[in-house]
């Protein structure tokens, strides 16, 4: 994930919002990400779907006075498989691996285990009508579809399978990012019906196996519902107005970098400068 600080205060005019774009080259082509509202001509944006292991550039086009700022290059790496919701970054799940000679599973760690892909099928997009008087059929075809398939995840604690359920419950596409060793580019997938299996006859034990069949789809387009560490409904519950946030000593930067809030289900509301109790350690 790449965290951006958009600052138009040194640019000509007064900007109240900006269209944000991403590219792998400073000359483009540019991919539109989102319209970002500005407060005091500034904003923080967390790009949870940025590609890893390559240079990434950003362009922000301000409005209404048309100022432009360029940011980058940035480059991030990952060591584990991430399963993300492009529009709900607070629900993203990082998986781990275990049961190898070098890294055997410890009790409950990692809590969520990536078990890999099933068979991947690249479906044909063609029809083959018969031709009267001919021994062969015609072929009307177009580009072969990207794959459909499945992946499996093991959750080993009650908190882990609740987190995975939160990830899939919205029902929309998910974004898979894998380390380079898997030789799989980033893909957006639409899950189908997802079975959850109990792995012990004693169903009080928390091990659950999730098999996620999917088809590869285009990325969804829309505003993100919160930051990487909290959804906006949760933030509004804590701070109904910006004045209440600032009165508690917080800023929008604190929301973006997780100083103020953690996702629902975490203990407390994050570490930081709010003292002990509900908003502190």
CATH number of the domain at 70, please. Answer: 2.60.40
Q: Considering the entire predicted model, what is its pTM?
A: 0.78
Same domain membership, residue 89 and residue 206: yes
Q: Which residues of 63-77 are buried (b: 16+ CB within 10 A; e: fewer)?
A: eeeebebebbebeee
Q: What is the pLDDT of residues 107-141, one digit of tens each?
A: 667 899 999 999 999 999 999 999 999 999 999 99
Lowest-confidence pick of 2-16, 136-150, 200-214, 236-250: 236-250
Last residue within a domain, chosen from 177, 193, 216: 216
Same domain membership, residue 192 and residue 87: yes
Angle in degrees, CA 185, 190, 196, rounded to 5:
105
Where in the sequence is the domain holding 114, given as residue range(s)?
A: 82-216
Q: What is the pLDDT of residues 17-60, one digit of tens each?
A: 999 999 999 999 999 998 998 988 998 888 889 999 999 999 99
Q: What is the pLDDT of residues 230-273, one digit of tens each?
A: 666 667 677 777 677 777 777 666 766 666 655 444 333 333 33
| 93 within 8 A of 210, measured Cβ to Cβ | no
Give the pLDDT confidence score for residue 240 in this predicted structure. Answer: 76
In a domain, 222, yes or no: no
| 144 within 8 A of 122, measured Cβ to Cβ | yes
């Amino acid at each position: 994930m790449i965290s951006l600080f958009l600052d138009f205060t040194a640019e000509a005019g007064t900007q109240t919002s900006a269209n944000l774009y991403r590219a792998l080259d400073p000359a483009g082509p540019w991919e539109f990400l989102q319209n970002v509202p500005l407060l005091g001509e500034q904003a923080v944006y967390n790009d949870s779907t940025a590609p890893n292991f390559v240079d990434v550039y950003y362009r922000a086009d301000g409005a209404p006075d048309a100022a432009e700022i360029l940011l980058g290059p940035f480059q991030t790496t990952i060591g584990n498989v991430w399963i993300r919701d492009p529009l709900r970054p607070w629900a993203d799940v990082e998986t781990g691996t275990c049961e190898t000679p070098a890294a055997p599973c410890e009790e409950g760690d990692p809590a969520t285990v990536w078990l890999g892909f099933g068979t991947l099928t690249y479906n044909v997009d063609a029809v083959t009508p018969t031709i009267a008087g001919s021994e062969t059929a015609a072929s009307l075809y177009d580009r072969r579809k990207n794959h459909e398939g499945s992946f499996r995840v093991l959750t080993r604690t009650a908190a882990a399978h609740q987190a995975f359920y939160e990830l899939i419950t919205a029902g929309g596409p998910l974004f898979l990012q894998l380390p380079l060793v898997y030789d799989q580019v980033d893909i957006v997938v639409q899950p189908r019906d997802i079975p959850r299996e109990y792995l012990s006859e004693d169903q009080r034990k928390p091990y659950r196996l999730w098999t996620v069949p999917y088809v590869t789809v285009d990325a969804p387009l829309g505003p993100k519902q919160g930051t990487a560490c909290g959804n906006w409904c949760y933030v509004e519950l804590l701070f109904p107005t910006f004045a209440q946030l600032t009165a508690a000593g917080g800023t929008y930067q604190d929301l973006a970098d997780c100083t103020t809030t953690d996702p629902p289900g975490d203990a407390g509301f994050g570490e930081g400068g709010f003292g002990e109790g509900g908003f502190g350690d």
